[in-house]
Structures are given as C-alpha cells and as structure tokens.
Structure 1
C-alpha cells in the first residue's frame, strides 16, 4: 500500500526559485539527486520487469553491450567492438576487460552467453523472439559469437539495456529466474549499485566505486521517491526537493507552466527516440463482441482522438494512424483513417445486430484503466463517455500496478488502457503485439489481445529477415494497411514524453534513452 508522501530530509541543498548560474560545464563530483517515480514498480530487474516505472532505476544498475545515440546508431558499452559477417549470419563481439559485477565477481563472455541463450528467452516479453533466433557462444573469456540461421535486420539494434541487459550467470544459472532472491537486491555492472528499497517511500542507489569507466559516475547517489499525489510531485520539482521527473510523473497539464520556471529545464520528445510510444485501447479478441473487426472499427469511429491529443495530452502527442509511429522510416500514410464519425460507428454496430435496448444500450463492456496517474484516469473516463454516445456502456475497472499487470497478462479483461514503445525497428517493438507466435498467457507486453492473421505473421517474418530496406518498407506498408483495417487495438495517440530536470542537473538527455540512460555522465552543479 502506498503511503501519503511527506517532504523528505534533503539530500542536497534546497533550491530556491529564481535565476542562478549553472556554474562551470566541467562535470563536478559528488551530489545526490532525487527523482520522482510513480507508481512504485513491481520489480527492478530488467527483463523480468518492463513496466515503465521499472526502467528509470534499473538502467542505472544494469548495462547492455551497446546503447544508441539520438539517431539510434550503436554506441559501445560492455562490448568494446564488433564485427558482422557479410552474410549477416555471424556477429562477433569483443567485450571489455576489467568489468566487475557489483558483488566483485568478474564479468565474462559466459554472462553474455547465459543472458542471450537462457535468461532473455525465458523472461523478456519482447526480446524472447529476438534471441530465440540466435545461438550465442563464449569463444573465450572476452569474446562472444552470435550465430543465426537467417539474417535478422534489426539485431544490431537489440543490445541496449532495456532489450538485453546482461545479468550475472553465477547468480541466476540453474535458478528460478523470476523467484531468485537476488531480484530483491539486484546485481549489475552499471554505474550505480542497489542500496535499499523502502517500500512506499523510495529506492536508493549509490555510486559504484569500482565502475569500469574511470572517474564515473559523477553523482554519489540517486533516490527514486514514490510521491502518489501529482500536485505534490510538481511542487517538489518547483521547490527543488526533487531534481528529475519524466514521462507521466508530471501531469501534462503542468508541463507548460513548469517550462517557464527559471530553475527548471523541460524537454519534450528529445531523449525518447528509442521509445517511440503509442497509446491504445486493447481489446480481448477471445470475448464477444471484440472478436468482430466491425466492433473494433466502431470504437475507433467513436473516439475523438484530436480531442484527446489537445485536451488530455495537452498537445504533447500526435494522433496515431496505426501500429507504426509517424517518425519511423517505415511509416505508411495510405491506410484507412478513423476520424470521429458517430454515424459510421452506429451503422457498424447495427450491421453486427447490436441494436439499442430500451435504455439505448447496445453492449456492456469493462475497461481496465492504467494505474499510472491522473492522465490515464482521464483517458479511461473519456473513453467511457465517448463510447456511451454510440450505445456501448463502459464500466471502469481500477487496479494497482501489480493487479493491472496480472489481469492484463492473464487475459482477464474486456478492454484495457495501455501504451507501448515501438523501439528502433518494427521487428523489435511493433510485431510483438500482433504476431500469433507471441500469444503468451501470463506475460505482459506480448500479443495479449489474441489477434491472429497468418498474412500478418508472414509479412512481419519476411520484413525481419530481409536486409533490403526498400523491400522491408514495402512489406511493412502492406502490414500497416491490413492492421489498420482489422483494428486489433484502438490506437489513440503517439506520445511525446516530457523530461523535467533542475537547471543544475546536467547530462540527463545525452542519447536516445534520455532519463532511461545509465547516468554515468550525469552531474549536479554545486
């Protein structure tokens, strides 16, 4: 149960409103930052947990072989260098030497091989399908070789911490990965180590003095504070009690106002290139009337998504037209469009035989709301009102984060509010929601709707294995047209997430991961 938040003892000097100098741009040593984090995550081991609140603290403890810049080009992290064979079937990575796990054990190629061969395919909702294609061999202590049966174009963009955080084989091998006690006190290679998780209050990370990058991290510690009330989170930013808030930690209605304050910096979109988030209403196709595409189309015509963009997301979004975000090079504009049209919505419901009863009700359904704050409560309430206008009576269901994930993952819902990252390539972040092979009960962020279309499966498979970008674009164009007709989910908006920091906090947004980067380079001006 969450506790009511009260102002905490400052770990850094409280900042006063007004202008000040950020000081020299040379990174300064020391300092403790406080970040909002809401809701409290269900866990903080990457791969096992992929909820949005998990990512901020876990990416400070765990690392991948690579990270990616603003253009999503690879940048070495635990991998020092790599070579891809001309036929695209072999990837060879030279790993950094001298890297240690937080428990002092050496990081080796065995950790990478175990992570790719065993850990990720077992627990990672998204990367399972990627690493099931790959056989990883430890050639020597600091070299791994990945072998594929056929080329997989997006593999080179699959080695970041969120997609493939390396975990210690000596801790996990032979265990029940999800029940391993180390999950309560994670062991990674990152710049910060786990110190304490005080339930209902904070997660506390401290500097890794044995970090492999000499002189880093610059910060001494990070606290992720659980502040349930959105107004209190905004106030904590304004008064300097916290130095960082991102994504939905701050209500979108407050972003423009906070951007005007001289002690804060606000960016929108920048640093979220890897995420490319689309929000949607997901349908459970196993239940009627959601198994009929006409009902799903009727829902789309009943939603005023421009109203949602302007009045719920306060302009920090674009209307979504389908499964691939407009910023992607594979985006297709020539797809069926669903502007607000209550007459078309009603006609589709009539065609299905869903006639209004004496109370004007055609169907009674439930909507499981996303428990990530007031923004998402407003989304649920709007959907209830909008669908009511065409005779679809919606009952809202509330839940905490763990309950939401359990019901959603186990297909115990009619409709659910959610959002998902589309990532650097459709094969990584888009196909997982629609391909039949990824229907996996009990695992979040897979094909939870139960949608199945053999042609869609075939198109996604061909696009993933083809290395010709022009051919891939044609394949993804076709798949977008089919999905936009079938409407397996009701896409609403493409979100442009805000990141809000103290003006004294530097190097938060330095690549395509923004606040979900490692913070090895982040520093706080005195």
Structure 2
C-alpha cells in the first residue's frame, strides 16, 4: 500500500514539474522560509549539514548540476552549468570540461578555469591547509590532479576509472569557489556566481539573499530575494506557515503527523512527502572505553528495535535499511529478506535482546550494575526524538544513559573531534550512489567517518565496486559491503527517514527531489504568483 502511495506521489510530482514552466512567470517578490537553527557558517564546502546547503546553494553554481525539475536525480539527469560540455578520456581516467565564457563572480571578477582548479585542489586536499576542514575530501581521493588547459578548459585526472565521479560534481555540495577570495571570507561573506547574492547572516535571527542582477542566465532569477528566518521551535514554524507568515516550510521539517495537521488547517497547501536519503543511526566512539570492546558494540546493535523507532517517529512510513537508501526509492539498497540476515536486523527483537543481555552479563553488567554513559545528540527534533527512544531501548540491555543535547555548531565540532561515547546522529547522503556514501562515511581518515572506523581490506572493495560498470555486478558488491559494515557494527542504521515540504499555491515551479534533500535548491526559476 505504501509503495503504491509513493508511486502516485512521484507521478504527481512529475506532473507538477512538467506543468509549471507553461505558466506565465512573474518577476519580483521575496520568498520567506523558516529555518530550523543557526548554520555553522555559509561555506558549503566546509560544512556537513543540510542547514547550510539548503539556504546557501542559490549563491553558487556547479560545473554540472542535477536537473532541478527532475524529482529523482541520477547520472542521466546531469545538466551543464558553469561547464558547457564534458568528455571522458584516457580509458575513463580523465574528465575534460569546456567552461562557460562571460561569467562573473558577485564582486565582478571573471570566472575562469583557475577557479575550478583552486576549488578542488582545496577540497581534495591537493593544496592542504587552505580550508579549515573539508568534509567531502574523501569523495575526491581518486583525484590525482587538475590541469588548466586554457582559460575555458580544465581537466580532472583520476588515478583509476570512476564512472560516478561526474555525479559527485553535480551534487549541491560541489559548488565552484572563487580563487581570489580566501576560505575564511567564504565562512562569513560567501561570493559565488549563482542567481542570488549573499546579503547577511545574523546568528539566531535570519539569512538574506538578493537577486544577482548580472546572472549569466538572461531573465533569471525571478525572485527579488530569499529570506530564511531562524525559528528554533518547530511548532512555531508550523503555525507561522499555516498563518501565512511563511511562504514555505523548511524543506525537511514536516513529519508525517505534522503533515496531517497542515492539511487539516490549510487544505490548499501543496505538500510533498518523500524519502530524504537521510538515515538515523547510532554512532559509537570505537576508541572510548568501554565501547572499544567489540562485544559491547555488538550488544548495542542487537538492542535496537527498528520497527518501534519507525512506528513512533514516522508512523511506519520510514524505511528499514542498511547503509544505502532502501528500494524502491533507492537503486542500491538491500531487499528486505537479505536485511533480516544482518546483525541486529532479525525480526525477533526479544531474541536479539536476549543475546545482547547475555553479552552484557558476561562483561559484568546487569539490572543491579548498569553501564552508565551519555547519549550525545543535536538539539533539533529529528535528533532528539530518536535519542529519547534509544535511551529507553538501551535500558533493556543494562545501559543507563543521560541525554547530552547540544546546538548545531557545537554538535558538529564535537563529532569531528570524536568528543562523545555514543550518540544518535543523522547521516544525509547527497547521492543515491555507493561512492559518495562509502568513501564519505566509512573510509579511513574521512572527516565524516564520525566513528573513526578503518578497514583497509573493505576500502579496497570500495575501489573495486567504484570501477565496476555492470550494474548487477556492482550492486552485488555493494550488498556484500553493506553486510560487512553491519556485522562489524559500524554506525548501525536505525531507519531511513521520510519528511515533507509544504508551500502555498502561489509559490510556483517548486520541485522536491525524492532521493536526496541536498541537490534541489538553486531556486533560480522559482517565482511567486501574487
């Protein structure tokens, strides 16, 4: 039944996307959206949360970008942006781009191939020390060098073939930065080539972008401005939308229960419920006693009742899966019968927990000697609510935990430093592709590998699947990797999330992507019919 509902939803989204361009677009107006919290900084290339990429993606352009009106992104939906064309060569180890001429940065300086080289030299760590941190450096570990062949031509040279490399460049996380602006300035006043210029970011108050009058696409953008008002309380955000104070909800903010409330209070609201490609997971500091003990980590995995999480948080509409986005939205995720063979995924929760209790008793823990710890999490509902459930479930295996809840900037600072014991986290995947997920979240040394897991043999299999061009063979390799990650209790996945975005009918040409929340916010051709 849910599968049919999602197929009907996808069909409706496609119909809306197809119909919108036929309308007579209007210029002008400011779209106002509530934001869930204060982003750590406006620098997309240095941050790792949707609260940065969603509001600041309109400031920038990519070399290539997923079609903003195709709800499901894939390699087939990649379109030119700052590059006008691209070509693979040298057996799939070089990727040459011809660049668009006449593009200027928001400060009037010309965009050239040197900016492309400068950006990925920093992001990939080929020119280390320029950025404070590069959360997606692991994406580009296969990048050997970048050559500037002419002012309008640049070539990426790879160490080995990697067909999905082009998709990494198409993500919302891959904007081109200006070579003449230092990274520190991009953290406070970013400069791009995109449809909107940065005006201000006031901590705990608001973010404002205004129309770029010199945008290289004639006639765009339609909007005069985009304004995000930072409203930490979700109930206040929902009331503000229903009352008409906001033109749109924050794009990942509306739960299944809240969606029902919005439809009751505002039947005309247009809402899209979709898979976000964000999973809620348990992160464990593998170097911090007693969680450096693999037996305790196994007990943690066996304690999780995934169905209970999904029923409580998503009213059963989320999906249970391993590392990759589950089908049918995801093309790489395991089928359900295979999932049930993974550690902690068996449907008999009582049996799993009995095994976990036996492990804990063997280590000296029990009802009268609980293991004391803290569950670290971020201070927004999508993190806090699962942390409360996790706290209750861990008590079933003799772990008594207090919640350690911190705001967004402190949360990511502590995660990057591994300043936690166990935590409830959300991991968003920019792409439905194993290269992005595996290298970013599980490769040795990746900044986003929050648990510090390192398995060189498994990483060699990351490389092998990355080079495989046969889909069926590659997917079998991906499933084997997922199994080994689950059995080694590496960031156990609790559930894959679902969330809605809503907007008022006068907001036109809005398309919501259904297999990731990170790629669809250029907003250059969104307009207001009022």
SS in 1 for 2:39: coil
SS in 2 for 1:462: helix
Q: Distance in 2 between matches of 1:306 and 1:370?
A: 22
Change (3 A) 1:321 1:110: closer
- The residue correspondences of 1:162-181 to structure 2 (distance < 5 A) are 162-172=172-182, 177=183, 180-181=184-185
Q: Distance in 1 between matches of 2:158 and 2:203?
A: 43
Change (3 A) 1:265 1:389: same
- 1:481 and 2:489 correspond: no
Q: Distance in 2 between matches of 1:119 and 1:302?
A: 38
Q: Distance in 1 between matches of 2:472 and 2:391?
A: 42
Could you tell which deviates more after superposition, 253-262 or 161-170? 253-262
- 2:374 aligned to which of 363, 366, 375: 366
Q: Distance in 1 between matches of 2:170 and 2:123?
A: 15
- The residue correspondences of 1:278-297 to structure 2 (distance < 5 A) are 278-297=279-298
SS in 1 for 2:92: coil
Q: Deviations over 1:287-340 (max 9, x none)?
A: 233234433332233222212112112344112244553343332332413435
- 1:398 aligned to which of 405, 417, 429: 405
Change (3 A) 1:387 1:216: same
Could you tell which deviates more after superposition, 148-157 or 284-293? 284-293
CA contact (8 A) 1:151 1:467 kept: no
Q: Deviations over 1:9-63 (max 9, x none)?
A: xxxxxxxxxxxxx998221111111011111101011111221211112101012
Find the counterpart in structure 2 of residue 14 from structure 1.
none
Q: Deviations over 1:168-196 (max 9, x none)?
A: 00113xxxx3xx23421110011000112
Could you tell which deviates more after superposition, 96-105 or 253-262? 253-262
- 1:332 and 2:339 correspond: no
SS in 1 for 2:218: coil
Find the counterpart in structure 2 of residue 450 from structure 1.
452
- 2:269 aligned to which of 264, 267, 271: 264
SS in 2 for 1:113: helix
CA contact (8 A) 1:323 1:430 kept: no
Change (3 A) 1:61 1:161: farther
| CA-CA distance at 1:156 after TM superposition | 1.3
Change (3 A) 1:354 1:345: farther
Could you tell which deviates more after superposition, 470-479 or 146-155? 470-479
Q: CA RMSD in A?
A: 2.3
- 1:206 and 2:176 correspond: no
- 1:472 aligned to which of 465, 471, 474: 474
Find the counterpart in structure 1 of residue 43 from structure 2.
45
SS in 2 for 1:489: coil
| CA-CA distance at 1:511 after TM superposition | 5.4
Find the counterpart in structure 2 of residue 235 from structure 1.
239
Provide TM-score, normalisation by structure 1.
0.87
| CA-CA distance at 1:484 after TM superposition | 1.9
Aligned length: 487
Find the counterpart in structure 1 of residue 393 from structure 2.
386
| CA-CA distance at 1:379 after TM superposition | 1.0
Change (3 A) 1:23 1:345: closer
Q: Distance in 2 between matches of 1:60 and 1:265?
A: 22
For structure 2, the residue ranges without an aligned partner over 5 or more in a row are 1-19
Change (3 A) 1:53 1:340: farther
CA contact (8 A) 2:65 2:172 kept: no
CA contact (8 A) 1:279 1:492 kept: yes
- The residue correspondences of 1:127-526 to structure 2 (distance < 5 A) are 127-130=137-140, 133-160=143-170, 162-172=172-182, 177=183, 180-260=184-264, 261-269=266-274, 272=276, 276-326=277-327, 327-333=329-335, 334=338, 335-336=341-342, 337-339=345-347, 341-351=349-359, 353-357=362-366, 359-372=367-380, 374-422=381-429, 423-438=431-446, 443=447, 446-509=448-511, 516-526=520-530
| CA-CA distance at 1:247 after TM superposition | 4.5
Find the counterpart in structure 1 of residue 113 from structure 2.
109
- 1:76 and 2:84 correspond: no
Q: Distance in 2 between matches of 1:117 and 1:322?
A: 29
SS in 2 for 1:222: strand
| CA-CA distance at 1:454 after TM superposition | 3.0
Q: Distance in 2 between matches of 1:91 and 1:389?
A: 53
| CA-CA distance at 1:355 after TM superposition | 3.6
